[in-house]
Structure 1
């Protein structure tokens, strides 16, 4: 029986031809994705599903997809796919992370010009028969400072175009090295400095717990008066209510938004303002970009269905069927160790290394390294995956080093991930016991053994009497239940660490209170 792919959203006919040329049967039904019931009724007949943003792939839909092996998203975001449910059912989820980059960057520049020269309002006035030349006084782009929040693939393209417009560029990105920033012609700065200096701010970072409302009321108040905001990345990066208040007060001179916290955005307090430009999520909407991502997703899906090749998968590393049983627990360990580093790093990571000691050093470690880098980067970059993680790290100037040593240690296999930041160096080690479950066995130079849990709290503190009681009491008062409590110290009265597994995510207020306890140096909520 030939492989069958359902295309449930509008996609270029060239993609259909790619499937057919590879011997894959393609069923083109571009309006089906809008009908959840019809999609669920037929999905069981297909090996692959090619989508854009209209199709919502839920856990209920996946439960009826008995044959489904792969979902291909023509575009970057996979927020319309229940990736966790797909992973649980063994369904590969792929995206096309780079096909929309130029188009989205150009839209950001276009919105910046529209905002600077009040083009939409001036157009409406002129077409209404008015001639209000003195009403629409704009500002020049040349000589202004552009602050870029998130300087990855798209942000880098925006930087290049801004420099061509004779703008000064400052960039905030935890994974952007000073050397990479210099090569782009940008100046790497912390967020507070960007807010203080930028005449225009453009966002090009994914929406994660760390970046949600990155332009909050507090941060908007720290921006210089008269700043203009452009967002072509994700709704939720800007606190829209706070932005309205900042526009009302005149602290923010204007905003241009292509994305909103709720989409489709049919109503918003931001609408109807002359100093606000709005477009309906058009960042990727050019003929060229649509063609690129359609061809790319068809190529990737066909390669997987006919040859087993995996590219740009968001939920699975490049591992063959023979290697999978042995490597899978170490891949999981690497990803979680990387995620620990990404979450506890106090500054941008400039160098990332992973060392393999013992039996694991003789295995195919590249997949583990990719998973570890992915775990580290995913704290800030939701589109990263094990296939693209090393590329994205290099793109941000982060050096990734892999060291394999067939040496003896206390463990049959030991993996250590280490990060060098602009402020310090941090490391965490782990192993896989015979039960197949990964564990942390060392934080820095301190031995501490702990299994991973979905929600944990990491604390470094001075080894002083009474700390554990105050720590546990604070959690108890906050209604946070402790599942496990692992402790370690370097010496009596020296530095100590605690890894606490809890039932559910730690409330931010609780973490803030922990940081205020006497002797605490760092308190961080961890999510896996």
Structure 2
């Protein structure tokens, strides 16, 4: 039995998992008792980021052999527990890189220009041109915290738009080819220097003890007062209250948050963002487009099928 607890491309299920007993129910993530019951005989589990593959859920799946992750982040999966039980875990590495990179560039353009929320005012007969004179992206510095595959796709697009790109990544050697890749030169900087000089700061790191709230009050105070912060990586890297306070006080030019410490974001926690200006909130959707959903789904079903068949 293969259990799929969150949404994915159904054609990939039909064709990629043909011959397997499959339970596909994307509402299972919100019905933990039913999910636990379904896992009693499951050999494989396919999830996105909301299903918490740990503790009681793993205990409910005594025959589990493999977990397919429809994405790249693994913070919803207890990797140590899976390793101890011999459960293989396969992220869909690379399959949604383009989607996230395009989200970063799109929100950067949106927040720098600042003109696209005027539809209602213009339709009502107002003409707020003076209030909507924004900024160009060309000539600005894109700062990337982390310089893995998604950040490199972002750099490629930023350079094509005339941006200068710099990155902080202490785990990438100084002589690595990515710093001078085919898309152009990327400058390696210390984190404090990156914070101080970036016009757009985009986060591309996993959530760890080291990165939790790395963009908080102190980091924001080092940034330009008109800088843009974009987090399409993992919730918890940004201190949400600190971002809201900085935007409200005019100490930050804008922010786009696609991920949150608690997901789905509930109204009680979301209240910190009420009335905050120059803010874009989206529901963990940066990596999900029609195209990337197909790619992620096929990578995942191929990984799961090959593991179960010993290929």
Question: Given that residues 65 and 88 in structure 2 are in contact (C-alpha distance below 8 angstroms), is that contact kept between their aligned partners in structure 1?
Answer: yes
Q: Which of these residues, 164, 168, 174, is aligned with residue 172 of structure 1?
A: 168
Aligned to 1:11: 8
Contact 1:14–1:295 (8 Å) recurs in 2: no
Offset, 1:127: 5.2
Residue 45 of structure 1: CA displacement? Answer: 1.9
Q: Which residues in structure 2 correspond to 1:250-399 (within 5 Å)? A: 250-265=250-265, 266=267, 267-307=270-310, 309=311
1:226 Cα deviation (Å)?
1.8
Q: Describe the shift of the 1:30–1:236 C-alpha distance in structure 2 as closer, same or farther (beyond 3 A).
A: closer
1:62-98 CA-to-partner distances (Å, cap 9, x unmatched) read 2121221111111112333333333333322221121
Change (3 A) 1:127 1:63: farther
The equivalent residue for 1:33 is 29
Instruction: Give the Cα separation in 2 of the matches to 1:234 and 1:52.
Output: 13
Question: Who is 1:212 aligned against?
Answer: 212
CA–CA distance in structure 2, aligned partners of residues 127 and 258 of structure 1: 29
Q: Distance in 2 between matches of 1:177 and 1:58?
A: 34
Larger Rg: 1
Tell me, yes or no, if structure 1 residue 131 matches structure 2 residue 131: no
In structure 1, what is the Cα distance between the partners aligned to 2:116 and 2:75? 31
How far apart, in 2, do the equivalents of 1:33 and 1:249 lie? 38
Paired residue secondary structure (1:262)? coil
Superposed counterparts of 1:91-110, under 5 Å: 91-110=87-106
Deviations 1:195-242 (A, max 9, x none): 221111111111111112222212211122321211111122222222
Superposition deviation, residue 55 in structure 1: 2.8
Number of aligned residue pairs: give it: 304
CA–CA distance in structure 2, aligned partners of residues 130 and 240 of structure 1: 33
Over aligned residues, Cα RMSD in angstroms?
A: 2.0
Match of 1:52? Answer: 48
Moved more, 204-213 or 49-58: 49-58
Contact 1:121 1:274 in 2 (8 A): no
Q: CA-to-partner distance for each residue in 1:267-322, whole Å, 9 max, x for gaps?
A: 14234223112212111120011111111110001101012x5xxxxxxxxxxxxx
Aligned position for 1:182:
180
1:236 matches 2:232: no
Greater than 4 Å deviation, 4+ residue runs? none
1:256 alignment partner, SS class: strand
TM (normalized to structure 2)?
A: 0.90
Distance in 2, matches of 1:38 and 1:130, equals 53
Greater relative contact order, per chain length (Cα 8 Å cut-off, separation 6+): 2
Closer, same or farther: CA 274–43 of 1 in aligned 2, 3 Å? same
After superposition, the Cα gap between the structure-2 partners of 1:211 and 1:286, relative to the gap in structure 1 and judged at 3 Å, is same
Gaps of 5+ in 1: 310-528
Identify if the C-alpha distance between structure 1 residues 127 and 52 changes in structure 2 by more than 3 Å, giving closer, same or farther: farther
Residues 36 and 56 of structure 1 are in contact (CA less than 8 Å); yes or no, is this contact kept in structure 2?
no
3-state SS of paired residue (1:121): coil
Q: Structure 2: how far apart are the matches of 1:145 and 1:233? A: 19
Offset of 1:262 from its aligned partner? 2.4
Which of 108, 113, 118 is matched with 1:117 structurally?
113
**How far apart, CA to CA, are the structure 1 residues paired with 2:263 and 2:51?**
14
Deviation of residue 101 (structure 1)?
0.7
Instruction: Report how far residue 111 of structure 1 moved.
Output: 0.6
Q: Residue 111 and residue 55 in structure 1: after superposition, are their counterparts in 2 closer, same or farther (change >3 A)?
A: same
Contact 1:18-1:298 at 8 Å conserved across structures: no
Shift, 1:166, TM fit? 0.4
The question of whether the paired residues in 2 share the 8 Å contact of 1:104 and 1:283 is answered with: yes
Rounded to whole Å, the distance in 1 between the matches of 2:109 and 2:141 is 14
